[in-house]
Structure 1
Amino acid sequence: MSAPPTRATAECQNVSKSTCRSRMSAPGSSVTSASGWRTCSTTVATTDARTTIPDAAWRRAFARAPGTRPGSSTPSRRHWFRTVTVPDAIRPVRVRRNRSPAGGRRAMMCRVSAPMPRWVAVVAAVVVAAVPVLLGGACSRVVPGDARAATAPATAAISAVPPTGPASEVAATTVAALQEFWRQEFPAAFGREWTDITTFAAVATDDPDATAPPCTNRAADLADQAFYCPAADAVAWDADGLMPLLQDRFGPAGVVVVLAHEVGHAVQTRLGIDAAQERGPQRYPTILLEAMADCYAGVAIAHLLEEPVAGLPLGPAERDDAMRALVGFRDPVGVEPGDQSAHGNAFDRVSAFQDGHRDGAVRCAEMTVDNRTFTQRRFGSEADLARGGNLPLRDLLAFVEDDAGRWFTDLAPGRDAPRLSSGGACPPERLATQGPAAYCPDDGGVAVDLAAIEDVHREIGDFAAATLVAGRYGMAALDAVGTSPVGRPAGAGATCLAGAYTGRLLEAPDGFRLSPGDLDEAVQVLLLADWVARDAEGASDPAEHGFERITRFRTGLLDGPAGCLPGR
């Protein structure tokens, strides 16, 4: 979160904690909030990497920790291991851009490096092969471009290392299923026959004698990566490192979504965007082409959920795993949409995936810079950059109480805004059922469990904590306008209103507003736990998953409170 400078910031530099506290609490101080939340930023410790989180659902969500490469008793060179209580899938990753494969004019490969040992290094690199399309046949809309088929035989040549474990088997099954799916879907969506992808190559990157995959000089060039190369019409991936790592961290869905994304680039090539991009590259920036590929991946995974394939156990929970994988591949915080290397933040990538999943392939092909909004942004100040976009927890709570309180009174005129506290009229055990933040109908207040919400703040980021609090302010607003805070509609409405409040901060010109990475933190907490969707009694829809929570959150963010409140 980004906040305007306060006198506390200026007065508390280069002084002791006790001096800082005394200055802030001095009579007439303008920096002491009414509720007493605000303290010096220097008092917040964030160095403890191991936490005990009281909520059972949170502990279950964090149960999966990364392991060693299959068949090895020691950590691989591609990820670092430690005992954690938070899944590394939610941790920010840093990427360094590698050279493009030969023959890929718009190719781009990424490799994750771990600048600090607490971050796990993982990525699936994506190679952009782009393309718009002349929609013919049954399609009525025309997307600018010169349609052309990739040069490929009717049946693709599949070269692969012998399967060495579950990840290799999943990859082989996935590419066969994707090829078959697009043979049916491509003509139905675009009125053109599908030309099979020429080559799928699973590469033994640890073998110095392995044959180099298409568009590279040696097998090791593909380490930790996957790509589509349009010049060779080939999808290639690291079978020794990347795929086992994806399988380990995300299950089969991690492997499936990476390959579905790369095949999505092959779909783009078959629709002919290359010529249009040459004529107007500003119309087809990298981030748009990556969003299209994420969208096509959503189309394919929707099909695999509806028509299961033997060997690919995909259901709603695995769909969440696929989205977690996309979150893991997000751009570093602070990368702008116009950056030549930008692939998208977590929110934008998950949004594109959901659009394809819901609306189908034509929606993906119709994406343009005019109808697609990207939420990535750079840091607005040196101070925000220095703290990585994260406010200290108590500062965050003070600002949220003030800002969300004003937002509440706009939604429920004439009603007092909820007071944010660590208690309230409701019994603690009743509040605890809602998670780190809770709404108490007895007094209309919002309570936070400081220890639990600090864990969220530390392990994910400040806006993950803010999202949970915003959801409880949303619950209070529902109650204030006459909607029961108990029942599944209440949880759905609270999730939607958390998104609506986030949209308010996204549009804020100055003052308390979103920082780079904040939307990613919201996505992560929505995927990992159902807290924001719990009603005032701590109940949630057992059939609902992160996919549905993010959908409701996006509805609120895009449509505002009117999309969440009945009759508004």
Structure 2
Amino acid sequence: MGAVSAPIGRAATLVATLVVAVLVLASCSQVVSGSAQPTPAAASAPATRAIAAQADPPGRVADATTRALQDFWRAELPAAFGREWRDISTFIPVEVQDPAAPPPPCVNRTADVADQAFYCPAADVVAWDADGLIPALHERFGPVGVAVVLAHEVGHAVQNRLGVDAEQSRDPQRFPTILLESMADCYAGAALARFAEEPVAGLPVGLQERDRAMQALVGFRDPIGVAASDESAHGNAFDRVSAFQDGWNEGATLCAGMTIDNRPFTQRRFASEADLARAGNLPLRELLAFVERDAAEFFGGLAPGWDPPQLSTGGACPVPELAAQGPAAYCRDDGGVAVDVAALEGLHDEVGDFAAATVVAGRYGLAMLDAGGQSPVGRPAGAATTCLTGAYTGRLFDAADGFQLSPGDLDEAVQVLLAADWVARDAAGVSDPADHGFERIGRFRTGLLEGPGACG
């Protein structure tokens, strides 16, 4: 459409940086399994600790993590649940690239562990690919990438000690795989929150590391199009990082209280062959036309009497002022929303269409705040805008017709919120320096689940 025919001058470098940040696990796409099936010999596996400190940094991090996790749960299980912790029998770093290496309990071949980590309740074993997975996580996310994956698997051991495995055997529909995976992500969040409070040598967990832990979980999301009801479903990025956040914020008791009735899951199958054929992505110009109309309708309804603007590529504001806000911007001088088509094209192509839609929708939210008499500058504006963007997304989640979310769209929103602060920037192009991806996703999630009334 003519209103979006030219860029406003944004360089593509920031988009390229974002792409690197959110797609680093593209070659490591297997899920973190919590349901490996034991071989007949697994039940008699010796209860020994197979891991020792290794010379390489990833191996040392894995060793430090497993020791710290045992220490954490020795204290936490009695405190939270009144039960004594029984140490995990064996931790096994599997040398997948060594053809002579024996397979760990619960799998038939060493190669079955490639790019995997798992907990097997039959042998009370946590095993992982020490040649591929752990070094890749360490390289891409630092020590916390290793820690979050192992904390997830130990989370499955917590479930075992609380009797969840036995309950699942009796009633699989009450404890589907996706619920067990969310609980394990939640337990991982609880453990890493403690490591942030009480630092572990060699395992830094600060605010930046917290975001990296969530980026690592994003890399283990289900392939798009897997429904939450599928037997093998582990969760999309939104559900997985949400569970991690709940554990971090609320602790282990909340994780144990998750049920299929109180835990909403957001992933779904493709609703049409056409959407499947395009992998859930509209061409950018078609997407912008939908967002222009749909966001105007949604945000216009929140500010009666306001006439939301059409998208443009500039308007009254100078390019530097617009560029400070990111690939889309709100211009206070004329009340317009401008887009940098080139920057959005890069974001669209490398992450997905809803990453671009999320950034544009945020600027409509900021415009609505200004139209409603709230200042579009300052920390409250950025916080409210992020929440309102979630509320807009929630409207699309169950839309009966027209513009709807496709499988993968929420994951694209999560990725852009984790990697960049564009949605949280105010009209001056400033975001709260104390905020990180964790906070942005939390506010977005509040809006999505609770609606615009929760956005203050």
Q: Same fold (TM over 0.5)?
A: yes
Q: Cα gap change, 1:194/1:161 in structure 2, threshold over 3 Å: closer, same or farther? A: closer
Q: What does residue 127 of structure 1 align with?
A: 34
Match of 2:247 among 347, 356, 361: 356
Residue 481 of structure 1, aligned match among 372, 392, 407: 372
Q: Residue 420 of structure 1 contacts residue 447 of structure 1 at CA under 8 Å; is this kept in 2?
A: yes
Q: Name the SS for the 2:180 alignment partner.
A: helix
**Pairs within 5 Å for 1:52-451:** 54=11, 58=15, 61-62=17-18, 86-87=19-20, 89-90=22-23, 119-123=26-30, 125-128=32-35, 157-160=48-51, 163-451=54-342
**Cα offset, 1:36, TM superposition:** 5.1
How many residue pairs are counted as aligned between the two chains? 448
- Conservation of the 8 A alpha-carbon contact between 1:161 and 1:204: no
**Secondary structure in 2 matching 1:269:** helix
Name which of structure 1's ranges 216-225 and 465-474 shifts more when overlaid on structure 2.
Answer: 216-225
User: Is the CA contact (8 Å cut-off) linking 2:325 and 2:428 kept in structure 1?
Assistant: yes
Deviation, 1:380, is 1.0
Partner of 1:558: 449
Structure 2: state its 5+ residue gaps. Answer: 38-42
TM-superposed CA distance for 1:214, in Å, is: 1.8
What SS class does the counterpart of residue 294 from structure 1 fall into? helix
In 2, distance between residues paired with 1:400 and 1:164? 53
1:367-417 CA distance string (max 9 Å, x none)? 111111111111111111111100000000001000111112211000111
Tell me, yes or no, if the aligned pair for 2:141 and 2:213 is still in contact at 8 Å.
yes
Is this contact kept in 2: 1:128–1:290, CA < 8 A? no
- The 3 A distance-change label for structure 1 pair 308 and 488 is same
In 2, distance between residues paired with 1:530 and 1:36? 26
Counterpart of 1:188, as a letter, is A
Cα gap change, 1:529 to 1:345, in 2 (>3 Å): same
Is residue 440–residue 446 contact of structure 1 (8 Å, CA) maintained in 2?
A: yes
Provide the residue aligned with 1:466 in structure 2. 357
- CA RMSD in angstroms comes to 2.2
CA shift, 1:238, in A, is: 1.1
Q: Secondary structure at the match of 2:11?
A: coil
Distance 1:188 1:309, change over 3 A: same
Residue in 2 that maps onto 1:67: none
Residue 151 of structure 1: how far off its partner (Å): 11
Change (3 A) 1:88 1:533: closer
* Residue identity opposite 1:537 in structure 2: A
SS in 2 for 1:338: coil
Question: 1:134-187: CA deviations, max 9, x gaps?
Answer: xxxxxxxxxxxxxxxx9999xx73213662411101000000000000011111
Q: CA-to-partner distance for each residue in 1:61-96, whole Å, 9 max, x for gaps?
A: 44xxxxxxxxxxxxxxxxxxxxxxx327437x8xxx
- Offset of 1:248 from its aligned partner? 1.1
SS in 2 for 1:201: strand
Name the counterpart of 1:494. 385
Give the secondary structure class of the aligned counterpart of 2:50: strand
TM (normalized to structure 2)? 0.94
Structure 1 residues 404 and 504: alpha-carbon distance in aligned structure 2, compared to 1, 3 A threshold: same
Whether the 8 Å contact between 1:128 and 1:289 is mirrored in structure 2 is: no
For 1:357 and 1:557, the matched residues in 2 are separated by 20
Q: Structure 2 CA distance, aligned partners of 1:54 and 1:490?
A: 25
When residues 188 and 220 of structure 1 are mapped into structure 2, their CA distance, relative to the original with a 3 A threshold, is same
Mapped contact 2:288–2:357 kept (Cα < 8 A) = yes
For 2:173, what is the secondary structure of its paired residue?
Answer: helix
**Cα gap change, 1:260/1:496 in structure 2, threshold over 3 Å: closer, same or farther?**
same
Q: Give 3-state SS (helix, strand or coil) of 1:282's partner.
A: coil
- SS of 1:349's equivalent in the other structure is helix
Partner Cα distance (2:278, 2:57) in 1? 41
Distance 1:268 1:358, change over 3 A: same
Query: CA offset at residue 124 of structure 1?
Result: 5.4
2:40 corresponds in structure 1 to: none
Give, as a single letter, the amino acid of the residue that structure 2 aligns with 1:445: G
Structure-2 separation of matches of 1:151 and 1:509: 54
The TM-score, its normalising length taken from structure 1, stands at: 0.76
SS of 1:281's partner is coil
Larger radius of gyration: 1
1:515 aligns with 2:406: yes
Confirm or deny: 8 A CA contact 2:187 2:252 kept in the other structure: yes
CA distance in 2, matches of 1:556, 1:88: 25
CA offset at residue 57 of structure 1? 5.1
| Distance 1:327-1:216 versus aligned 2 partners, 3 A rule | same
SS of the counterpart of 1:383? Answer: helix
Preserved contact between residue 36 and residue 106 of structure 2 (Cα < 8 Å): no
Shift of 1:121: 3.4
Cα distance change of structure 1 residues 285 and 532 upon mapping to structure 2, 3 Å threshold: same
What does the per-residue CA deviation read over 1:277-317, in whole Å, with 9 as the maximum and x for residues that have no partner?
23321111111111111111111111111111111011110
Give, as a single letter, the amino acid of the residue that structure 1 aligns with 2:165.
D
Structure with the larger RCO, 1 or 2 (CA within 8 Å, 6+ apart): 2
Kept in 1: contact 2:388–2:455 (CA 8 A): yes
1:537 aligns with 2:444: no
SS in 2 for 1:195: coil
